[in-house]
Structure 1
Amino acid sequence: MLVKGDSIGLIACSNARPSRYEEKIKNVEGFITALGINIVRAETLLETDEKTTSAPQARALELHKLYDNEKIKLIFDISGGDLANQILPFLDFERITAANKPFVGLSDLTTVLNAVLQQTNQKNYYFQLMTLAGTKAVEQQNFFKEYFVEGHETIIETRGLTDFKEIVGKMYGGNIRCLLKLAGTSFWPEFKGHIILLEGFSGSYERNASYIAQLQQLGVFTDCIGIVLGTFTELDQKNTTLIESLILAAVPDDLPVARTSEVGHGDDGKAIILGHTITIRG
């Protein structure tokens, strides 16, 4: 996928990274540049001098610059938080379509990932690059090299929560809280005939129950052909079956539902393709 001499872009479309993250970012950059890959930073990557995130128009402009740069093959968003959906009205999707390059992000970037998919049909990746400087740094650096550089296929390990052999389809979704920000907008994904990925970081049992109820009321569970549940960090610390029980009570009995511990906010999270046909086994 990436070869020596290629460039990647780094950006924060959600909350800008505080300056204290500079050392971690440089650690990630050092590993990547050692592979012969160049890095282009967006000017809005870090907080402003006033300790705030740049305006949404400025973040959208920086994203367009990365899409327009022909040397950049992949755009990695290393942010998270709450602000990613602010940039959506300022995105030029014809420009993004013409650039035809994947966007990579996690969590709050669910809004941008799915909006780009809905408007351009381009595949994206659900992954957090900063895990390369986390508690599982060595494993994640090896994964980055194998997946994004050497192009090895990664099979996400899943277990069936319902009785099915396999489901084949394009995957949409991501963080459950952030996905629901798109409800009622033109950026809401078309789930009919597709697989939905759901994972979460914070949130009590009650909060996640309300998210699932909203998805049910939006008709997502009758439209989609299957669900993959990633990690739900806060809820799983209490009991990993809580989110499973909530989902199984809300979906049709014959809907394939699978669980994986390899996608989500964990420091060992793997990349999964959104908007591309994949196979999920029960």
Structure 2
Amino acid sequence: MWHPGDAIGFISCSNGLTNNDRSLEMVSSLSRKIKNDFGLETVMSDVLFLDKETQQTEAPASRAGALLSLYSDASVKAIFDLSGGDLANEILPYLDFESIKSNPKPYFGYSDNTVIVNALQGKTGIQNVLYNPKVLVGQEEAFQTQALSDLVTQIDADWTGIFKISGNSASEQSAAVFVGGNLRCFLKLAGTPYWPELENKVLVIESAGGRYEAMCSGLAQLEQLGAFGKINGLLIGQFTQLALDEKTSAFLRVCRNYASRYGFPVWETDFIGHDDYSKPIRIG
């Protein structure tokens, strides 16, 4: 994926980072981290932070242009998106997917950037990574350093062991192809030209926010989109708000009901979600 001396591009395709000391220190710490631990340089996008004058996220066309610049930069071997929020889907109409396809490199993003991870993969065939790079300098830094190193070096590793899944036997799924991510954000792609192909893939779902009813509504939308008739399985990560509301078991029963009706297996993992133990997972 990369070698010492290569560069990682930092960008915000969703809501820009705030211009405060905490965000500035996080970016600096992450840059030092990938330099010291992986021997990689950093290329900072000019849309990483909110506009200093307006304190607004940079315009969609500007963010898309900055992303395309990182793809065209030969020194950049991977792109780390450090943002989250609501605005990632704004940039999709401004992307030149043929240019991206001609300069393949993995895009790492999480939460709202589920939109970008899946749209880019679907339009270009480039394998991307569902991952929040900021956890590399979070409370579980050592754990995440190992997780990222494993991703880079263990290309053919068995995902059932990596994510310590529970649920149905998954031995036949060791070479699964994944799609999805944050449930709410993934569904932003529904009905658009950016909706990815689901045939014979394992659908990953997780969410930080969202009450039981909202998450069940998301499952119903997936069914109405025909997703459950296509997928090979459902991998369920953390649903943080459901856990706080003590609704996890009820939600899992709904998931299993869909699975029994459509004949796909369901697995669960604590290593995909919005906490500092969430591991990177390849999309596509």
TM-score (norm 2): 0.91
**How much has 1:164 moved relative to structure 2?**
5.9
Q: Percent identity?
A: 36
* Correspondence 1:191-206 to 2 at 5 A: 191-206=198-213
Instruction: Name 1:181's counterpart in structure 2.
Output: 188
Provide the C-alpha distance between the structure 2 equivalents of 1:143 and 1:213, rounded to a whole number of angstroms: 33
Unaligned runs of 5+ in 2: none
**How much has 1:29 moved relative to structure 2?**
1.0
AA paired with 1:7? A
CA RMSD of superposed structures (Å): 1.6
Unaligned runs of 5+ in 1: 276-282
Instruction: Name 1:96's counterpart in structure 2.
Output: 100
* Correspondence 1:258-269 to 2 at 5 A: 258-269=267-278
Instruction: Name 2:15's counterpart in structure 1.
Output: 15
2:217 corresponds to 1:227: no
Instruction: Name 1:78's counterpart in structure 2.
Output: 82
2:49 corresponds to 1:40: no
SS state at 1:173 partner? strand
AA paired with 2:4? K
**How much has 1:234 moved relative to structure 2?**
1.1
**How much has 1:92 moved relative to structure 2?**
0.3
**1:105 pairs with one of 99, 106, 109:** 109
User: Is the contact made by 2:259 and 2:265 (CA closer than 8 Å) also made in structure 1?
Assistant: no
AA paired with 1:188? W
Provide the C-alpha distance between the structure 1 equivalents of 2:145 and 2:165, rounded to a whole number of angstroms: 22
Provide the C-alpha distance between the structure 1 equivalents of 2:230 and 2:201, rounded to a whole number of angstroms: 8
2:176 corresponds to 1:169: yes
**1:28 pairs with one of 27, 30, 38:** 30
CA deviations 1:120-170 (Å, max 9, x no partner) are: 11100000000012221232233334434x55746222111x466532432
Q: Which runs of 4+ in 1 moved over 3 A?
A: 145-148, 150-154, 162-166
**1:248 pairs with one of 240, 256, 263:** 256
TM-score (norm 1): 0.92
User: Is the contact made by 2:33 and 2:137 (CA closer than 8 Å) also made in structure 1?
Assistant: no
CA deviations 1:208-240 (Å, max 9, x no partner) are: 011111111111111111111111111122333
SS state at 1:213 partner? helix
Provide the C-alpha distance between the structure 2 equivalents of 1:37 and 1:151, rounded to a whole number of angstroms: 19
Provide the C-alpha distance between the structure 2 equivalents of 1:217 and 1:251, rounded to a whole number of angstroms: 14
User: Is the contact made by 1:74 and 1:104 (CA closer than 8 Å) also made in structure 2?
Assistant: yes
Instruction: Name 1:157's counterpart in structure 2.
Output: 164
Provide the C-alpha distance between the structure 2 equivalents of 1:225 and 1:143, rounded to a whole number of angstroms: 25
CA deviations 1:184-225 (Å, max 9, x no partner) are: 111111112211111111000011011111111111111111
Q: Number of residue pairs matched?
A: 273
SS state at 1:190 partner? coil
Provide the C-alpha distance between the structure 2 equivalents of 1:134 and 1:246, rounded to a whole number of angstroms: 33
SS state at 2:16 partner? coil
Question: Cα distance 1:36–1:169, how it changes in 2: closer, same or farther (>3 A)?
Answer: closer
Question: Cα distance 1:74–1:237, how it changes in 2: closer, same or farther (>3 A)?
Answer: same
Instruction: Name 1:278's counterpart in structure 2.
Output: none
User: Is the contact made by 1:235 and 1:242 (CA closer than 8 Å) also made in structure 2?
Assistant: no
Provide the C-alpha distance between the structure 2 equivalents of 1:75 and 1:267, rounded to a whole number of angstroms: 20
User: Is the contact made by 2:147 and 2:280 (CA closer than 8 Å) also made in structure 1?
Assistant: no
**How much has 1:90 moved relative to structure 2?**
0.3
